[in-house]
Amino acid sequence: MKIIKDPVQLKQILVGERKLGRTVGFVPTMGALHEGHLSLVRASKCENDITVVSIFVNPTQFAPGEDLKKYPRVFKRDCGMLGKCGVDYLFYPSVRAMYPEGFSKPLRIRNAKWPRLARSLCGKFRPGHFRGVVTVVAKLLDIVFPDKLYLGSKDYQQAAVLQQMVKDLRLNVKVRLMPTVREKSGLAMSSRNRYLSIVDRKRSEKISRVLLELGRELEKNKEPVSKLKSRALSELKKHVDRVQYLEIVNARTLAPVRARCAEMGVLTACFVGKTRLIDNVIIRSR
Ligand code: AMP
């Protein structure tokens, strides 16, 4: 595995790879890797000749007061994991390399649809977050120019926003949305889980249970959506310290649903102690 810090160098290498007819799969990450990330890497390895992973803790997607400074950075460990998976190139740029002096604020794209998707759910509680995500991923795609971009369903809204960005900019990349990888307990794997104490981890395990139960009820129980939701919300509140949102949405538009539709998403963000966790389940009627 080659570790490359310079965007220009990586761009040149990948131009060379493509000239040889090789396809490129790309997995952007912020490091502190776990099986969720590795599942994306493995999918890319299966479907492409070359796999590129980036590790970059992107400052523009953190609001003041969020966990940018304490975000876990375990580069050596990450390298070992990616090397074992057979990753070809690890892109590990500095903040300066990604945001050089004179970098202007992200341009507004006229008629872009992604800002609408970015306003609700996490967007309400993390203003500017998705603008930062879109900015960094657009920059990374410009450097890597992959055939396929691998994203996890764990960050469902992020994936929806990025899929829309790819459409808005007519980028020639196929987005592959991969399933959420969970601990045996059901807890969605996340780099932030390492902030959790043993007690808080136990409490966090209830989040996926509440979502799965609500998903099952939406499929089977005929009660109104609003009633099922408020019951699930009360249950969730018993286990976590603060619920930012628990929403039942149309899985395509992310608009809240009042009546059942073919593809629904149940999404939540909540705090356990000081740790903010997100999770979701997607329900597709057969
Ligand atoms: P992050 O390092 O948190 O920015 O995540 C990088 C990529 O890994 C994103 O596309 C995430 O959605 C994906 N990812 C994170 N956790 C999981 C998980 N538990 N299962 C599947 N994909 C995940």
DSSP string, 37-100: HHHHHHHHHHH-SEEEEEE---GGGSPTTSSTTTS---HHHHHHHHHHHT-SEEE---HHHHS-
Residue 15's pLDDT band, with cuts at 50, 70 and 90, is: very high
CA-CA distance, 73 to 194, in Å (whole number)?
A: 11
Q: What is the DSSP letter of 249?
A: E
Q: Which two tokens stand for residue 166?
A: 């790819």
Please provide the average confidence, as pLDDT, over all residues in the chain: 96
What is the pLDDT, as a whole number, of residue 109?
A: 73
pLDDT at 280 over 90: yes
From 34, 37, 129, 239, the catalytic residue: 37
CATH architecture of the domain formed by 191-281: 2-Layer Sandwich (3.30)
What is the pLDDT, as a whole number, of residue 103?
A: 82
Is residue 4 within a helix (H) or strand (E), and if so which, with residue range? strand 2-4
CA-wise closest residue to 244 among 282, 275, 218: 275
Minimum CA distance residue for ligand 1 atom 13: 152
Query: CATH topology for 2-178?
Result: Rossmann fold (3.40.50)
Indicate the length of the chain as a whole number.
286
Calculate mean pLDDT across residues 176-189.
98
Distance of CA 42 to the CA centre of its chain: 17
- 157 pocket-lining for ligand 1 (C-beta < 6 Å): no
Q: Name the segment(s) of the chain with CATH classification 3.30.1300.10.
A: 191-281
Q: Which two tokens stand for residue 36?
A: 């969720």
Calculate mean pLDDT across residues 267-279.
98
Q: Does 104 or 37 have the greater pLDDT score? A: 37
Q: Does 266 or 113 have the greater pLDDT score? A: 266
Calculate mean pLDDT across residues 113-119.
91
Q: Which two tokens stand for residue 143?
A: 């450097």
Residue 286's pLDDT band, with cuts at 50, 70 and 90, is: low
SS3 category, 127: coil
CA-CA distance, 53 to 2, in Å (whole number)?
A: 11
CA-CA distance, 50 to 45, in Å (whole number)?
A: 7
Per-residue pLDDT tens over the stretch 149-179: 999 999 999 999 999 999 999 999 999 999 9
What is the pLDDT, as a whole number, of residue 285?
A: 79
- Kindly give the distance from the C-alpha atom of residue 138 to the centroid of ligand 1, in angstroms, as a whole number: 17
Instruction: Give me the helices (H) in the chain, please.
Output: 7-19, 35-47, 75-85, 95-98, 114-119, 122-125, 129-144, 156-168, 198-220, 225-239
CA-CA distance, 135 to 203, in Å (whole number)?
A: 34
pLDDT at 147 over 90: yes
Per-residue pLDDT tens over the stretch 226-265: 999 999 999 999 999 999 999 999 999 999 999 999 999 9
SS3 category, 125: helix
Residue 107's pLDDT band, with cuts at 50, 70 and 90, is: low
Q: Name the segment(s) of the chain with CATH classification 3.40.50.620.
A: 2-178
- 30 pocket-lining for ligand 1 (C-beta < 6 Å): yes
40, 85, 148, best to mutate for ligand 1 pocket (most atoms within 8 Å of CB): 40
Q: Taking a C-beta distance cutoff of 8 angstroms, is the pair 220, 228 a contact?
A: no
- Kindly give the distance from the C-alpha atom of residue 174 to the centroid of ligand 1, in angstroms, as a whole number: 17
Per-residue pLDDT tens over the stretch 69-101: 999 999 999 999 999 999 999 999 999 999 999
Residue 129 annotated as catalytic: no
Facing residues of 265 across strands? 249, 282
29, 85, 129, 276, best to mutate for ligand 1 pocket (most atoms within 8 Å of CB): 29
